[in-house]
Amino acid sequence: MFVCVSCLAVLCNISGVLVSNWTLGNASCPPSDQIQVQTQTPSEQYWDESALRRSSGMNETGTVVWHLALCLLLSSIIVGAALIKGIKSSGKVVYFTATFPYVVILILLIRGATLEGAREGIEYYIGTQSNLTKLTDAQVWKDAATQTFYSLSIGWGGVLTLASYNNFNNNVSKMLLSSASLMQVLGWRSLCICLSRFCLLHCVFVVPGFGGSCGPGALLRPASSSFPSLLCGRVVLFMLLTVGLDSQFAGIEVVITCLVDAFPSLLNSKRAFLTLGISCSVFLLGLPCVTQAGIYWVTLIDGFLGTWVLLVVGFMEVVGVSYIYGGNRFIKDIEMMIGEKSFFFWFWWRACWFFISPCIILVILVWSLVTLTPPSYGTVPYPDWALALGWCIAAFVLMWIPLVALYKFIKAKGSVWERLKSLCHPTEDWHPFLEKHRGERYSAEKKTDKQNVDTWSISAISSSWL
């Protein structure tokens, strides 16, 4: 069975000289003189030396790898073209980019089930051969949590941005349940069966370089010269392209929507030019990542921004909505869109919002920070200046949370307690955008808030929780 790990070459120490072909001529080497040296597989060598043209370290930037720069340019053009007309154009493209990976996974499911060793792969994944000691590793839980955040675009703003284009009365609960069921059935089952031959294909989306150095090699291994195997490898690589583009659509749409909503009179009629400008900016900002040291930059940014920083942002969002804005108030907002539901319907959501989600995120966050180790790319460590830069980037992202809170606190009026109360209470202009969607609830709430602004106390917060 093909395993995506570096190979071990056995050398023989003969009179202080390492000999690699000591087995020729039926020569023998005493076990005490045998030395195991880690080498790369052909796929890994192609990935490092041909695809990435990787330098020796981050201190050696090298030149821009032209074929990677062209791929970056192509992806920027595709993203710009798909988003140039907003959600109307990107929505049509997403119909293909979102469904095509499931088709490929279904093909891999059928193909993986017919390969020799499929049962052994399942045993190593969730069977008797599973290494359950990995569950005690904080890195495993951190990677799982951040992968969930990445896949569902939680904490990045993608969900909120795309949801803002839905109709006001769109039943989000049905969409959530149907998409969750589809992902569980297709994703989980396909991974369980395909792991034996496809070398942990899901790690392609987690480990930098895994898709290029390991995935295709595992797919082409059974019959590398046959046309079906070659086609299968290319289809999987195209699937990775569609997955990446799908995520890029959401990320760029977040930036565009935020700018248009912040300056509607200025940018609403110039959305196409704004989209082209952002796409060009993304291309220029991505050029350092397509140099010979680019993979080090990608790993550094991912290690500091795509992991525990994302957990901090997600934790603050959960706490802000559940405990500051108020879970009960949030539920009433949702019921304005989908209709009233029973207490038992919301019981699970309350449990998740108030206890399960914040506790899990907090435990993983603290655990990962306590066991934090400096990031590296394989066996190549990062220089001190790169680690300092990574911490500065993380601090720049997180510092806006306390700084904006402090700014709002200073701008508020009244005593310290009155300022704190006003910041933990919705403003008067907080309501659905269209008048027809506000109903009696918000109009009545606004009058009540104005009358009770002086007598409002901490009980208002506690009453909005449950």
Instruction: Please list, in sequence order, all residues whose beta carbon lies within 8 angstroms of the beta carbon of residue 162, skipping any fewer than 6 positions away.
Output: 87, 153, 250, 253
Q: Return phi, psi of residue 68, to 5°.
A: -70, -35
**Average pLDDT along the chain:** 76
Residue 174: pLDDT above 80? no
Q: What is the pTM of this model?
A: 0.74
Q: Is 333 annotated as a binding residue?
A: no
The tens digit of pLDDT for each residue in 69-87 reads 999 999 999 999 888 888 7
> What is the structure's pLDDT at 7?
55
Give the three-class secondary structure for 38.
strand
Residue 190: pLDDT above 70? no
Query: Of 106, 135, 129, nearest to 194 (Cα)?
Result: 106
The arithmetic mean of pLDDT across residues 207-234, rounded, is: 55
| pLDDT greater at residue 306 or residue 195 | 306
> What is the structure's pLDDT at 29?
67
Instruction: Please list, in sequence order, all residues whose beta carbon lies within 8 angstroms of the beta carbon of residue 89, skipping any fewer than 6 positions away.
Output: 81, 82, 83
> What is the structure's pLDDT at 173?
63
Q: Is 151 annotated as a binding residue?
A: yes
Burial class (CB in 10 A: 0-12, 13-18, 19+), 31: exposed
Residue 353: pLDDT above 50? yes
Burial class (CB in 10 A: 0-12, 13-18, 19+), 232: buried
The tens digit of pLDDT for each residue in 15-24 reads 555 445 545 4
The tens digit of pLDDT for each residue in 93-151 reads 888 887 888 888 888 778 777 777 777 777 777 777 777 787 788 778 888 887 777 77
Q: Which amino acid is at 10?
A: V
Band (pLDDT 50/70/90 cuts) for residue 427 is confident
Q: Is 429 annotated as a binding residue?
A: no
The arithmetic mean of pLDDT across residues 203-214, rounded, is: 46
Query: Of 434, 436, 438, 455, nearest to 446 (Cα)?
Result: 438
Greatest Cα-to-Cα distance within the chain, rounded to the nearest angstrom: 97
